[in-house]
């Protein structure tokens, strides 16, 4: 048992070390400046004077993640309320398997459905070519629905029964109870779900890569082709050779992704602590 | 609390997977070189009685992967002692791994000299050209254009021309479906069709898989892109290049210039088993069989050859 734990710690530390050491290689040997990497908007690694500005990708990742959370959170919270407060019987029986099913679908399927359904729909109804930030955010929002819903539903179900009963005893209606008692009390737990969903959206690669367009520019509209950190890494990693500045720049992006994951974990921790009080 | 448990579960699973992958690689690194065999076993039927054995690991180009897999399967049928594993990962991965001796064969769409920054490392590698892939410019069928000149293509891919009507087509904005900057297909298209490297244009779309590129070009109004000949069908319009049709015959005769070798690199001279496998690739059986069947062009049929610098000479 303790051996497993030890092994796990060693593996985690070595993975973090590996990504970090490759990620800072470009900065250490003076190939790229940190500020240039983080805030540079020009990405042309194959040019004669290459530039490695990753800002378009960093901003793209944050943009699709925030948009996806904005779309998915209200839907998920409503679904969770429906399952636990409104019709706990058949509502839960119906929704639970559907949500479990959603979380089990591989991301390539989401990507392909996005490419075959969402992209043509956006192309026909809105300006642009359908491919772009909006398509990416829509695909992601469906993908993170199950995460937020199941966490929110767990939080709502674990709420002490007497809290609700006291509210009803005071003469509050169901809607008043939900909006004044249940939601405020479970807010930190629901936010945990939202943050976990965002962590998933931030790290998702394949599905987004298929529908976002991957042009290395900061998008000026939701219907414009853009890139995320993950999409650039997956597109470039196999085609570049280890140790080249371009490959190292991709590792730097992986490092940014990893640090962001730490931030998300930290956020969840903080929310959990608030939840206990 | 439930979360923590599932997190730890997930972490354990990933690390076990990662570990097993590592173990696999390490095991394959030690390719057994069976020294006791007679050296003349280039013939795969090994009628001399010499039995080939050992394991071969190839990795790299996903464009070449299906061909290598299929040929490896046939090779293993006649040589039961040989175990060949083929992995993808991209040309860069294949070249890195073969130059670091992690694999026996590194598959690549481009010359090693173009990818490996370290020229000494590239010089250590031995090139085996097994097939040729030709790339054609393709457009959405409704663009209304049959042929483009080199200059027109350059103007389109550098963003100077943005509407099909400027090249004699429909009044429709041009949408570029490109490959990522590091892609071998893009490198081939840029150096032999455009003759210049291009910058990414704002609003252009980049996809890495040929299937997705074809789907996008077929569905997006005004789309232009490029695909290997094996992917072409009626859903997209194949454009002639300077009036030359991108057909296998034209490529073989050296009339159509947009093509590249598929390379299988070994680190130095290959061992007996690897050599037998690579030689099998160049037999007529494979070159006119599997190579053609999977949409590549036989390297042995080419009437011209091309070196690293791009100079084409008649054979």
Give the residue-averaged pLDDT of A103-129: 90
**Block residue for tokens 């409104």:** A86
DSSP classification of residue B258: -
At residue B12, the pLDDT reads 55
**Block residue for tokens 């109004």:** B221
- Phi then psi for residue B129, to 5 deg, are -90, 115
Residue B31: which of B53, B49, B2 has the closest Cα? Answer: B53
Q: Which of residues 49-68 of A touch B (CB under 8 A)?
A: none
Q: Which of A118-127, A196-205, B46-55, B245-254 has the lowest mean pLDDT?
A: B46-55
Query: Residue A73 to residues A66, A98, A262, B129, B148: CA-CA distances in angstroms?
Result: 10, 17, 21, 54, 49
Q: Token digits for B58?
A: 């190839």
Which residues does chain B have within 8 Å of residue A7's beta carbon, measured at their own beta carbons?
A: 15
Tens digits of per-residue pLDDT, B62-86? 889 889 999 999 999 988 889 999 9
Judged by a CB distance cut-off of 8 A, whether residue A240 touches chain B is yes
| Cβ contact B208–A213 (<8 Å) | no
Which residue of A154, A215, A236 is in closest CB contact with B205?
A215
Give the residue-averaged pLDDT of A135-161: 92
| Cβ contact B15–A4 (<8 Å) | no
Q: In angstroms, what separates the C-alpha of A244 from chain B's closest C-alpha?
A: 7
Q: In whole angstroms, what is the distance from residue B28 CA to residue B23 CA?
A: 9
At residue B313, the pLDDT reads 85
Instruction: List, as one string, the DSSP characters of B86-111.
Output: EEEE-HHHHHHHHHTTSSSEEEESS-
Could you tell me which residues come within 8 angstroms of residue A139 by beta carbon, excluding any fewer than 6 positions away? A110, A111, A113, A114, A118, A207, A208, A211
At residue A271, the pLDDT reads 85
Tens digits of per-residue pLDDT, B139-165? 999 998 999 999 999 999 999 999 999
pLDDT at A260 over 80: yes
At residue B116, the pLDDT reads 83
A interface test, pick of B92, B214, B221 with most A CB neighbours within 10 Å = B92
Task: Name the band, by pLDDT with cuts 50, 70 and 90, for residue A127.
Answer: confident
Give the residue-averaged pLDDT of B259-286: 91
ipTM of the complex: 0.80
Task: Name the band, by pLDDT with cuts 50, 70 and 90, for residue A198.
Answer: very high
At residue A277, the pLDDT reads 47
Q: In whole angstroms, what is the distance from residue B275 CA to residue B265 CA?
A: 11
Give the residue-averaged pLDDT of A90-112: 89
**Higher-pLDDT residue of B119, A202:** A202
| Cβ contact A7–B15 (<8 Å) | yes
At residue A231, the pLDDT reads 92
Q: How much of chain B exceeds pLDDT 90, in percent?
A: 44
Nearest chain A residue to B197 by CA: give it. A47
Q: Which residues pair with B227 in a beta bridge?
A: B136
CA B32 to chain CA mean position, Å: 28
Which residues does chain B have within 8 Å of residue A48's beta carbon, measured at their own beta carbons?
A: 197
Tens digits of per-residue pLDDT, A83-98? 888 888 888 888 888 8
| Cβ contact A241–B96 (<8 Å) | yes
- Phi then psi for residue B83, to 5 deg, are -120, 115
Average pLDDT, chain B: 83
pLDDT at A251 over 90: yes
Task: Name the band, by pLDDT with cuts 50, 70 and 90, for residue A197.
Answer: very high
At residue A64, the pLDDT reads 94
Could you tell me which residues come within 8 angstroms of residue A9 by beta carbon, excluding any fewer than 6 positions away? none
Q: How many residues does chain B have?
A: 315
The model's pTM: 0.82
| Cβ contact A129–B220 (<8 Å) | yes
At residue B23, the pLDDT reads 40
At residue B5, the pLDDT reads 55
Give the residue-averaged pLDDT of A159-183: 90
Judged by a CB distance cut-off of 8 A, whether residue A5 touches chain B is no
Other CB atoms within a 10 A radius of the CB of residue B46 amount to: 18
Q: Which of A9-13, A20-24, B178-182 has the lowest mean pLDDT?
A: B178-182
Q: How much of chain B exceeds pLDDT 70, in percent?
A: 84
Task: Name the band, by pLDDT with cuts 50, 70 and 90, for residue B50.
Answer: low
| Cβ contact A46–B116 (<8 Å) | no
| Cβ contact A215–B204 (<8 Å) | yes
With residue B69 as reference, give the H or E element that holds it: helix B65-78
Q: Which residues pair with B163 in a beta bridge?
A: B173
Judged by a CB distance cut-off of 8 A, whether residue B106 touches chain A is no
At residue B14, the pLDDT reads 57
Task: Name the band, by pLDDT with cuts 50, 70 and 90, for residue B30.
Answer: very low
Task: Count Cβ–Cβ pairs < 8 Å, chain A vs chain B.
Answer: 116
At residue B35, the pLDDT reads 39
Q: In whole angstroms, what is the distance from residue B114 CA to residue A145 CA?
A: 45
Task: Name the band, by pLDDT with cuts 50, 70 and 90, for residue B133.
Answer: very high
Judged by a CB distance cut-off of 8 A, whether residue B42 touches chain A is no
Give the residue-averaged pLDDT of A158-163: 87
pLDDT at B22 over 80: no
At residue B6, the pLDDT reads 57
| Cβ contact B181–A236 (<8 Å) | yes
Judged by a CB distance cut-off of 8 A, whether residue A246 touches chain B is yes
Tens digits of per-residue pLDDT, B215-264? 999 999 999 999 998 888 899 999 999 999 999 999 999 899 999 999 99
Judged by a CB distance cut-off of 8 A, whether residue B2 touches chain A is yes
Task: Name the band, by pLDDT with cuts 50, 70 and 90, for residue B10.
Answer: low
Average pLDDT, chain A: 90
């Amino acid at each position: 048992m303790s051996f497993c734990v030890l092994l796990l710690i060693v593996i985690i530390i070595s993975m973090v070390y590996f990504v970090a050491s490759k990620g800072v290689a470009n900065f250490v040997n003076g190939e790229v400046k940190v500020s240039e990497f983080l805030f540079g908007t020009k990405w042309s690694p194959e040019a004669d004077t290459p530039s490695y500005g990753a800002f378009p990708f960093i901003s793209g990742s944050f943009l699709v993640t925030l948009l996806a959370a904005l779309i998915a959170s209200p839907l998920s919270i409503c679904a969770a309320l429906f399952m636990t407060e409104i019709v706990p019987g058949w509502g839960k029986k119906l929704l639970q398997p559907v949500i479990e099913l959603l979380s089990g679908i591989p991301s390539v399927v989401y990507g392909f459905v996005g490419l075959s359904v969402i992209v043509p729909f956006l192309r026909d109804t809105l300006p642009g070519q359908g491919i772009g930030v909006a398509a990416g955010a829509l695909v992601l929002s469906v993908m993170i629905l199950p995460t937020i819903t199941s966490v929110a539903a767990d939080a709502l179900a674990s709420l002490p029964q007497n809290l609700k009963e006291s509210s009803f005893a005071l003469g509050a209606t169901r809607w008043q109870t939900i909006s004044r008692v249940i939601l405020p009390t479970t807010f930190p737990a629901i936010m945990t779900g939202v943050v976990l969903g965002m962590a998933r959206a931030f790290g998702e690669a394949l599905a987004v890569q298929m529908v976002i367009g991957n042009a290395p520019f900061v998008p000026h509209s939701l219907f414009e082709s853009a890139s995320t950190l993950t999409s650039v890494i997956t597109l470039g990693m196999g085609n570049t050779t280890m140790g080249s500045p371009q490959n190292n720049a991709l590792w730097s992006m992986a490092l940014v992704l990893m640090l962001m994951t730490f931030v998300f974990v930290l956020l969840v921790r903080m929310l959990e602590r608030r939840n206990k009080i | 609390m439930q979360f923590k448990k599932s997190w730890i579960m997930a972490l354990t699973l990933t690390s076990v997977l990662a570990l097993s992958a590592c173990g696999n690689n390490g095991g394959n690194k030690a390719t057994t070189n069976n020294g006791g065999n007679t050296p003349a076993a280039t013939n795969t039927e090994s009628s001399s009685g010499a039995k080939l054995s050992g394991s071969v690991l190839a990795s790299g180009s996903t464009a070449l992967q299906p061909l290598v897999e299929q040929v490896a399967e046939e090779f293993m049928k006649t040589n039961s002692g040989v175990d060949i594993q083929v992995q993808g990962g991209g040309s860069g991965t294949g070249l890195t791994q073969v130059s670091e001796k992690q694999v026996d064969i590194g598959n690549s769409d481009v010359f090693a000299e173009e990818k490996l920054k370290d020229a000494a490392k590239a010089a250590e590698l031995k090139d085996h050209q097994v097939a040729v892939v030709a790339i054609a410019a393709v457009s959405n069928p409704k663009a209304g254009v049959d042929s483009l000149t080199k200059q027109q293509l350059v103007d389109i891919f550098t963003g100077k021309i943005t509407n099909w009507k400027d090249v004699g087509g429909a009044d429709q904005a041009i949408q570029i479906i490109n490959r990522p900057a590091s892609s071998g297909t893009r490198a081939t298209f840029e150096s032999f069709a455009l003759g210049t490297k291009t910058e990414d244009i704002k609003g252009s779309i980049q996809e890495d898989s040929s299937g997705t590129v074809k789907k996008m070009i077929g569905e997006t109004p005004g789309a232009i892109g490029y695909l290997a000949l094996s992917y072409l069908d009626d859903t997209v319009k194949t454009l002639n290049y300077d009036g030359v049709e991108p057909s296998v015959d034209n490529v073989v005769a050296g009339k159509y210039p947009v093509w590249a070798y598929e390379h299988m690199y070994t680190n130095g001279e290959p061992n007996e088993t690897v050599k037998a496998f690579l030689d099998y690739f160049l037999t007529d059986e494979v070159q006119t069989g599997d190579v053609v069947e999977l949409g590549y062009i036989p390297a042995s049929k080419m009437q011209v050859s091309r070196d690293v610098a791009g100079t084409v000479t008649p054979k």
